[in-house]
A and B are shown apart, each in its own frame.
Chain A
Amino acid sequence: DTQMTQSPSSLSASVGDRVTITCRASQDIRNYLAWYQQKPGKVPKLLIYTASTLQSGVPSRFSGSGSGTDFTLTISSLQPEDVATYYCQKYNSAPFTFGPGTKVDFK
């Protein structure tokens, strides 16, 4: 099975900072990669699918890139409401594995 890893596991940043999270698949998953945001005590929310397509209603400060095994989620200017844990997920085939998550908070 394909394993998903993320780095860093956590990060602290300031309002307005550019934040980058990396996700790596142990095998080629083409662009079958999604990013989810989960705020504390809330349900996960789809941010990006097919590696770089922004879900409707998601602010444009979020962007995704990558293909194959290496992917990136970027927040261009961190906002207070972006405090959350971010998960990548492969969905090319079962099992639909999630990465371990990256917790983003403020310095």
Chain B
Amino acid sequence: QVHLVESGGGVVQPGRSLRLSCAASGFTFSSFALHWVRQAPGKGLEWVAVISSDGSNEYYADSVKGRFTISRDNSKNTLFLQTNSLRAEDTAIYYCARVYSSGWSYAFDTWGQGTTVTVSS
């Protein structure tokens, strides 16, 4: 069974950093592009970043570009999101998501349960 489990969220002061992780199981991790999506309290879904299956390509939403870095370790079936210079508006549930086929342009068929990041002084 395909499974994604996020971790690493918490309460952090503005300007600080957090590293989020997403552990995958039940599929060939190195064959799929992966995404981070976030949802601020009471708000809609916001796409954050994507990384290709081999880690050679990545893309970011303008709202996080230059502050967040997506990466993956295919030997450990784990996706990461390094979040730096955190702001109050980064407060959200962060989900990792897998696309439904090999490649870049596919919908997200599997989502983790999310990890909550709260940026507050």
| A49–B44 CB distance below 8 A | no
Find out whether the CB atom of A101 lies under 8 angstroms from the CB atom of B61.
Answer: no
Question: Does A89 have its Cβ within 8 Å of any Cβ on chain B?
Answer: yes
Q: Chain A nearest CB: distance from B113 CB in Å?
A: 6
B29 close to A (CB within 8 Å): no
Bound form: Cα–Cα A98–B95 in Å: 14
Interface size class of B (residues with CB under 8 A): 20 to 34
Alpha-carbon gap, A49 to B50, bound state (A) = 18
6 contacts between A and B (CB under 8 A): A43-B113, A49-B100, A87-B44, A91-B107, A94-B50, A96-B50
Complex interface bits, B85-121 against A, C-beta within 8 A gives 1, otherwise 0: 0000000000100011000111111011110000000
CB closest chain-B residue, reference A98: B45
Instruction: Knowing A34-B108, A43-B112, say if A98 contacts B44 (CB, 8 Å).
Output: yes
Tell me what chain A mostly uses at the interface: helix, strand, loop, or mixed.
Answer: loop
B100 adjacent to A38 (CB under 8 Å): no
Interface size counted on chain A using CB atoms at 8 A: 26
Residue contact B105 to A43, C-beta cutoff 8 Å: no
Do B105 and A95 have beta carbons less than 8 Å apart? no
A2-27 interface bits toward B, Cβ cutoff 8 Å, 1 = contact, 0 = none = 00000000000000000000000000
Contact, CB under 8 Å: A94 / B59: yes
Q: Considering only CB atoms, which chain B residue lies closest to A48 in the complex?
A: B107
A89:B107 contact, CB within 8 angstroms: yes
**Given the complex of chains A and B, what is the CA–CA distance between A102 and B76 in angstroms?**
38
Say whether B47 contacts A98, CB under 8 Å. yes
